[in-house]
Structures are given as structure tokens and as C-alpha cells.
């Protein structure tokens, strides 16, 4: 998980086990340490020191699914079009200041030590309070290769709307000569300094919720692969 505020301060946690609220620990990294990212046993001990309880997060259903997977043990991405486990949030307050957070349980059945996009500033999340912010979900390796959330914000800096910036960032992925985009999903959401929002994905069923002017809207993002 990672978090970033209006001043550009940020915190990130990687490979955190036995703690439920990873993004809350990331905020503590941002506020209470001189560092940006803590990982593994170091961040776990830091979380306990900050008062977060140790909890067993393995459910019986997850254990059975893992045991079934071990029969084949295929390390390959699952397209995961309809069942996202990453949560990204971008917020603008009444003063027009922007902040954001991104948290995930990570890719299921991955190789030990694998880190995706969600906890990496500039990849899973990026905030520039003068311009806007973006957050990503989907196959982290593909977002990392294009420094996705930073790219979306920089495209807005160049004059694109949040929608146009999200679409261009997706095009950078799908238009690669060796792109295998039909087998994975990536999606972005973005907001600019004017409060305009955008979202776009490779495949259908990427959804977002927008709260504005006292009203919640559940929105389905437009998408690239219509054929």
C-alpha cells in the first residue's frame, strides 16, 4: 500500500504480513519516519510498534484455494477483469487540495518476493497538487513498465483532460509491439486540479465510484478492447 499528500509527502509498505490495514501503516511511515518505503519484517515490527495488532489473515477458503493451485503451480497472470482486489482512492477537499492512496492484497499465487505496482509511488499512485493525481490497478508489471500513474499526471500537465490522459496511458501499454494485452487487465482513474475526473481500462467491467456535490455515482469506465 502507499499514500501521498498534497505536499508530496508519501509513505509505502511492501510485503507486510499479519496486519489488516496496510494503508494505515503506510501513513505512519509517511508521518512518523524519515523514509518513504518500509518492507518485510522491518515494516511488520514498525506496525506493531505503532500499535497495530497482529492478526492471522489466512481464511479457510483462501487456504483451500492455495492448496488446489499448488497441484499445478503455474506462475502466470490472471486477467481478473471482474474481480479487482486493488483499492485506489483520490480525494480533493474544499480547498482544492489533492491526496491519494492505493492498497492491495497483491497478485495471488505469485513467486516469493514479487512486488507489484500498488505500493510504488509514481506507478500505483502519484499526486501533484498543482496538476492532479492518478491511481492504477491491474497487472502491476505492465503498469511498472510505463510508470503509469506518473505518466497520467504528466499527460495532464501537458494539457490533456483526466480522461484523455488515462486513455493515452493505456495506449502506451496496448500498442507495444510485443503487447499481450488480451491476457491481462490494467485500469486508471485520475482527477485534475479543476475537479474533473477520468477513468479508462483495457477491458470491460472496470468500475469506479465518484462522490461529488453530496452524491455518489457508480461508474463503468470506458475501455480499449471492444472486439
Q: Exactly one of 86, 103, 137, 197 is catalytic; name it.
A: 86
Give the dihedral sign, CA 35/36/37/43.
Answer: positive
If one counts every other C-beta atom within 10 angstroms of the C-beta of residue 41, the result is 11
> What gap in Å lies between CA 40 and CA 32, rounded to an integer?
18
Instruction: Answer whether 1's CB lies under 8 Å from 120's CB.
Output: no
Closest to 118 measured CA to CA, from 192, 53, 188, 65: 188
Active site annotation includes 86:
yes
89 phi, psi to nearest 5 deg: -135, 130
Enzyme catalytic residues: 86
Amino acid at each position: 500500500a502507499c499514500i501521498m499528500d498534497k505536499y508530496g509527502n508519501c509513505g509505502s509498505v511492501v510485503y507486510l504480513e499479519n496486519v489488516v490495514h496496510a494503508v494505515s501503516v503506510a501513513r505512519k511511515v509517511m508521518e512518523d519516519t524519515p523514509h518513504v518505503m518500509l518492507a518485510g519484517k522491518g515494516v511488520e515490527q514498525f506496525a506493531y510498534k505503532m500499535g497495530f495488532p497482529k492478526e492471522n489473515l489466512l481464511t479457510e477458503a483462501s487456504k483451500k484455494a492455495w492448496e488446489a493451485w499448488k497441484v499445478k503451480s503455474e506462475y502466470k497472470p490472471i486477467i481478473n477483469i471482474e474481480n479487482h482486489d486493488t483499492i485506489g482512492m483520490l480525494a480533493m477537499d474544499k480547498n482544492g487540495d489533492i491526496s491519494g492512496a492505493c492498497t492491495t492484497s497483491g497478485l495471488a499465487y505469485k513467486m516469493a518476493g514479487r512486488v507489484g505496482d500498488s505500493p510504488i509511488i509514481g506507478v500505483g499512485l502519484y499526486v501533484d497538487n498543482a496538476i492532479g493525481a492518478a491511481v492504477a490497478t491491474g497487472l502491476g508489471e505492465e503498469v511498472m513498465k510505463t510508470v503509469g500513474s506518473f505518466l497520467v499526471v504528466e499527460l495532464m500537465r501537458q494539457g490533456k483532460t483526466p480522461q484523455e490522459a488515462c486513455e493515452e496511458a493505456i495506449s502506451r501499454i496496448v500498442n507495444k509491439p510485443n503487447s499481450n494485452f488480451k491476457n491481462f487487465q490494467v485500469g486508471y482513474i485520475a482527477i485534475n486540479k479543476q475537479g474533473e475526473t477520468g477513468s479508462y481500462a483495457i477491458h470491460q467491467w472496470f468500475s469506479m465510484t465518484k462522490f461529488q456535490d453530496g452524491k455518489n455515482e457508480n461508474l463503468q469506465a470506458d475501455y480499449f478492447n471492444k472486439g
